[in-house]
Amino acid sequence: MHATEFLKKHKTFPEIPVLVLYGSERYLKLEILRQVPGVAEDAADDVALTRVAGKDADLRSVCDELLTVSMFGDMRVVLIEDADEFVSANRAGLEKYVQSPSGSGLLVLDVKSWPKNTRLAKATAGIGMNVECGELTGAALCKWLVATAKDDHSKQLEMQTAQLIVQLAGDNLGLVLQELEKLVSLVGDAERITPEDVTRVVGGWRIETTWTMLDAIRDGHMDKAFECLDKLILAGDAPQKILGGLTFTFRKLAEATERARQTRDVKGSLKAAGIYGPAIGAAEAYLKRIGFARASRIMQMLVEADANMKGGSRVDPKTQLEVLFVQLAS
């Protein structure tokens, strides 16, 4: 079970003796741990929590803590953090404990890796829960955003708008959720979160700099485009993230070009591709300036740049972006 499914299904923590949280997404682990009795800041007084770093954990002490019956009826929770080495060193002992776990204790293992085909993993799945806390990226992250907006906030968030949030805020779940909560506050009683809402809220000055850079590429003002790129890189934005924002905008121009191939109606094609208002005139001028042949290659340029960024080229990513800027600006 993935953590997003667990959080949706379980509003209160289930009564189980063992919980394994595996994967690298810290945000998801923390969200689940907040449900664990004794871990949350508002924990009840009848819960005894012991936190142990994996490198310092001793199996005998852990088992003794879990199996000790308190005269006050306390529930025992032992959380072993960064427990990969502890599990490797004590696999046989853990398998034995899982066969007869404490009736009033909960063992929580926080690990990076948890192969499903091991005897221990099968055993913990049988009496407890193994919850995957892997990173969400791409379409999976956007779908999670759409579902969270609907289920938690009763807001309509279209997939393309969710993609814009991720492209501007990055793919860290905690940060993305913070931006979503800001957007929910911004729109108030409105049922829908729009791309315009996103550009107003997410990313602060980076948004303005990004749009200025994109407009400069479109209009052929390369000095300005490179200046904005330098600012974003200096502020810590990854070239891959910048490429995401670039793709979000120029993909619409590529779509409009393909529509215009059939209809011969450039303005109508731009509107159909999601370009509105004053931007239509500038976009039409751009397509006419670079010509139909080059405009038809916009999507190809973006795909090639994405492949190169992901290891297809040894050229510095910033230099790759600069080359792409020039190609798009013609």
Residues with pLDDT less than 50, the chain: 42-46
Question: What is the per-residue pLDDT for 222?
Answer: 95
**CA separation, residue 283 to residues 91, 198, 271, 274 (Å):** 62, 21, 10, 11
pTM beyond cutoff 0.75: no
Q: How far is the C-alpha of 76 from the C-alpha of 47, rounded, in Å? A: 6
**CA separation, residue 69 to residues 52, 63, 98, 106, 265 (Å):** 20, 12, 17, 13, 78
Q: How far is the C-alpha of 321 from the C-alpha of 239, rounded, in Å? A: 7
Domains of the chain, CATH where assigned: 3-132 (3.40.50.300), 138-201 (1.10.8.60), 205-329 (1.20.272.10)
**How far does Cα 328 stand from its chain's mean position?**
29
**CA separation, residue 14 to residues 17, 19, 34, 76, 123 (Å):** 9, 10, 13, 15, 17
Residues 133-180: tens digit of each pLDDT: 988 888 889 999 999 999 889 999 999 899 888 877 777 788 788 889
Q: Do the beta carbons of residue 85 and residue 55 sit within 8 Å?
A: yes
Question: What is the per-residue pLDDT for 123?
Answer: 94
